[in-house]
C-alpha cells in the first residue's frame, strides 16, 4: 500500500521535506488571535520544486493558509445558517460541500481565508473547531494508510508547525453508514501553551476532509467531553 506521504505527493498535496514547506508559519500575538507570517525564502524554494507543474506549485502555496486550523485571526463574523439540535450545541450542515458537525453553543463563527468553516471561543481562542477540504483522487481514507500512519503524517507535515513539538496519543477507525473515518488525538507544545486536539478525517465527494477541534491543555479536563462530541458528530454525505 502506498504511504500517505507518497500518495499526497502524487496528488500534489505534499512534497519531500514538506515539514518545512508546509510549515511556513511563525506565531505571534495579534490582538486576541495568532498572527500568520510566511517565510518568503521557503515559499521561493517551494515554487522552484521540479516535482510540481505550475498549478501544483500554486496549490502547494495555497496549502499553507488552507491547512492550518491553529490560526485564528481577528475577522468579521459571518452569518451562521446553523440550528440548535442538541442541548449546548449548534448543528452545521453544508449541503454544497457535503458535511455536518456540532459545535458548542457560544462559540462564534469567524471567516478565515482558506478555511471552509471556523468556530471559536472568543475568550479562549485555542478552543475552536475548523474544517477544510482538499481535492483527491482517492475513494477511501484507508487508501492512504492506517489510522496511525495518516495521523502521524498529518500531524508532522500539516497540522502542527515545525516549531512545535507534537505527540500522537491515539488513532482509531470507525464507520458511519459504510464510510470509514479516522479519528486521532494529539498534543502540540508551543513555547507559551500546549494545545490538546482531536481530528477526524474522511474521503468522499472527491475530497479529503479534515475537521480539527481542541483546547488549551490546562482546560482539557473541562472541555474534553464537549470536544469529543464535536469530533464524533462529524459526518460527510454525498453531494
Predicted model pTM: 0.69
pLDDT of 13 > 80? The answer is: no
How confident is the model at residue 133, as a pLDDT? 96
How confident is the model at residue 77, as a pLDDT? 39
How confident is the model at residue 120, as a pLDDT? 96
The closest of 126, 128, 88 to 108, measured between CA atoms, is 128
Q: What is the mean pLDDT of residues 159-175?
A: 96
DSSP type of residue 123: S
- Using CA atoms, how far residue 177 sits from 24, 97, 236, in Å, is 37, 18, 10
How confident is the model at residue 86, as a pLDDT? 85
Kind of pairing between the strands at 207-216 and 179-189: unpaired
How confident is the model at residue 225, as a pLDDT? 97
Q: What is the mean pLDDT of residues 130-157?
A: 96
Q: What are the φ/ψ torsions at residue 178 (nearest 5 degrees)?
A: 80, 0
Q: What are the φ/ψ torsions at residue 85 (nearest 5 degrees)?
A: -125, -20
Given a contact cutoff of 8 angstroms between Cβ atoms, the answer to whether 7 and 143 are in contact is yes
pLDDT of 236 > 90? The answer is: yes
Condensed to tens digits (0 to 9), the pLDDT of residues 58-93 reads: 443 444 444 444 443 434 334 344 545 689 999 999
Q: Which three cell numbers stand for residue 120?
A: 471559536
What span, in angstroms and rounded, lies between the C-alpha atoms of 161 and 69?
Answer: 11
Mean pLDDT of the chain: 76
Choose the weakest-confidence range: 45-49, 118-122, 126-130: 45-49
How confident is the model at residue 21, as a pLDDT? 28
Domain boundaries, the chain: 4-236
For the packed helices 54-66 and 40-47, what is the interaxial angle rounded to 10 degrees? 150
Given a contact cutoff of 8 angstroms between Cβ atoms, the answer to whether 105 and 186 are in contact is no
Q: What is the mean pLDDT of residues 126-135?
A: 96
The torsion region of residue 114 among left (phi > 0), alpha (psi -120 to 50) and beta comes to left
CA 182 to chain CA centroid, nearest Å: 13
Q: Which three cell numbers stand for residue 58?
A: 500554486
Condensed to tens digits (0 to 9), the pLDDT of residues 198-221 reads: 999 999 999 999 999 999 999 999
Give the CATH number of domain 4-236; options: 3.20.80.10, 3.40.50.2000, 3.40.1000.10, 3.10.25.10: 3.40.1000.10
Work out the pLDDT band at 4, boundaries 50, 70, 90. low
Tell me the torsion sign for CA atoms 145, 146, 151, 153: negative
Condensed to tens digits (0 to 9), the pLDDT of residues 181-203 reads: 999 999 999 999 999 999 999 99
The percentage of residues in the chain with a pLDDT greater than 70, rounded to a whole number, is: 64
Amino acid at each position: 500500500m502506498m504511504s500517505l506521504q507518497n500518495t499526497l505527493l502524487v496528488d500534489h498535496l505534499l512534497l519531500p521535506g514538506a515539514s518545512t514547506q508546509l510549515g511556513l508559519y511563525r506565531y505571534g500575538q495579534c490582538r486576541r488571535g495568532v498572527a500568520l507570517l510566511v517565510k518568503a525564502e521557503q515559499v521561493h524554494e517551494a515554487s522552484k520544486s521540479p516535482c510540481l507543474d505550475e498549478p501544483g506549485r500554486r496549490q502547494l502555496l495555497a496549502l499553507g493558509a488552507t491547512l492550518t486550523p491553529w490560526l485564528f485571526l481577528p475577522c468579521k463574523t459571518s452569518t451562521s445558517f446553523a440550528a440548535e439540535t442538541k442541548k449546548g450545541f449548534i448543528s452545521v450542515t453544508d449541503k454544497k460541500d457535503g458535511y455536518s458537525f456540532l459545535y458548542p453553543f457560544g462559540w462564534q463563527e469567524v471567516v478565515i481565508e482558506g478555511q471552509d468553516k471556523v468556530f471559536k471561543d472568543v475568550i479562549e481562542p485555542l478552543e475552536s473547531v475548523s474544517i477544510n477540504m482538499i481535492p483527491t483522487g482517492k475513494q477511501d481514507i484507508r487508501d492512504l494508510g492506517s489510522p496511525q500512519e495518516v495521523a502521524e503524517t498529518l500531524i508532522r507535515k500539516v497540522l502542527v508547525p515545525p516549531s512545535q513539538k507534537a505527540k500522537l496519543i491515539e488513532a482509531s477507525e470507525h464507520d458511519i453508514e459504510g464510510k470509514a473515518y479516522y479519528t486521532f488525538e494529539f498534543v502540540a507544545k508551543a513555547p507559551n501553551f500546549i494545545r490538546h486536539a482531536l481530528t477526524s478525517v474522511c474521503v468522499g465527494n472527491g475530497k479529503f476532509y479534515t475537521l480539527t477541534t481542541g483546547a488549551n491543555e490546562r482546560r482539557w479536563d473541562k472541555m474534553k467531553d464537549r470536544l469529543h462530541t464535536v469530533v464524533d458528530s462529524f459526518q460527510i454525505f454525498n453531494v
